[in-house]
Amino acid sequence: MRVQVQPAAVARPGTPAWDGYFPASLPLDWQLAYLGHFRSRVFVPGVLGADGALSAPFGDWDDAVPPNLRVTVSWPPETEATAGVAGLTGLARVLGERLEGVAFEPGVAVEAAVAGLRGAGLERLQVAGPGESVGLPGVDEAVWYPQLHAGEGPGFWRLRPAGEPDPADWRVLVEAVAGCSPAGALPVFLEASPGVLDGVRTIAKLLGKH
C-alpha cells in the first residue's frame, strides 16, 4: 500500500485565500454550498468553544452544509470532555452524516474525550489527534493528526503553506508529506485557496502519491 494524498480545504472565512475563491457577490452562508459543487470534504476549525458552545461562521449549520459535503471540526485544548461532547452531540444531531470527523488539537485530554463521544453514541465519527506539530519545507504550520477511531487511513494533515506556492513548491510539499506519512488514504487539509486543490491533486498523481 502507498500513500494516497487527498487535498482538501480548510475553511477560513474572512481571509483573502478563502474569500477570494468565491464570487464576490456570493453571500457568506452560501459558501459551503458553492464549495460542495466541487469538493466533498472540508475542515472547519475554531467552532467549538471552551464551554462546548458552537459558533456558526456560515450561518445555520443545517442550511449552510450541502448534502454531499463532509465536515471535520477541531476540538481545542481548553474544551473539557463533557462540554465538548455536548457541543458535538448537538452538531451531529443537526448535520447527521455530514459531520464526518473531529480533530483533537495538541493538549486535549484525548482518552476522556473519546470515551465521552462513544458514550454519546458518536462512534461513527472519525476521530484523530492530538495534533502534532511537524517541521516541513515551505509551510508556516504543519500539524499531523494520527487516526484514533473509525477512519479509513492513518490520519490526516492540516497545512498552512508559506506565501503563494508555485507548482514546484507544491511538488516539494507533496513529496515531503508523502515521505513522512504512513501508507494509506491521507487527507491533506490546506489553508490555501480551494482553487489550488486540483493542481495539487494533479501533482500528487504525477508523483504516484494519489
CATH of 3-206, one of 3.40.1130, 3.20.20, 1.10.3470, 2.60.40: 3.20.20
Q: And the C-alpha cell for 63?
A: 442550511
Q: Where are the domains of the chain?
A: 3-206
Which pLDDT score, from 0 to 100, does residue 148 have?
A: 87
Short-list 36, 46, 45, 43, CA closest to 9: 43
Which pLDDT score, from 0 to 100, does residue 150 have?
A: 57
Which pLDDT score, from 0 to 100, does residue 153 have?
A: 76
Rounded CA-CA distance 152/186 in Å is 9
Residues 6+ positions from 150 with CB-CB distance below 8 Å: 123, 124, 125, 126, 127
Q: What is the pTM of this model?
A: 0.95
Which pLDDT score, from 0 to 100, does residue 152 have?
A: 66
Q: And the C-alpha cell for 193?
A: 485557496
Q: What is the mean pLDDT of each run of 10 residues along the chain (210 residues)?
A: 92 96 97 97 97 97 98 97 97 98 94 94 94 95 88 87 95 95 94 96 92
Q: Computed from CA positions of residues 103, 108, 113, 115, in that sequence, does the dihedral angle turn out positive or negative?
A: positive
Rounded CA-CA distance 29/46 in Å is 17
Which pLDDT score, from 0 to 100, does residue 167 have?
A: 96
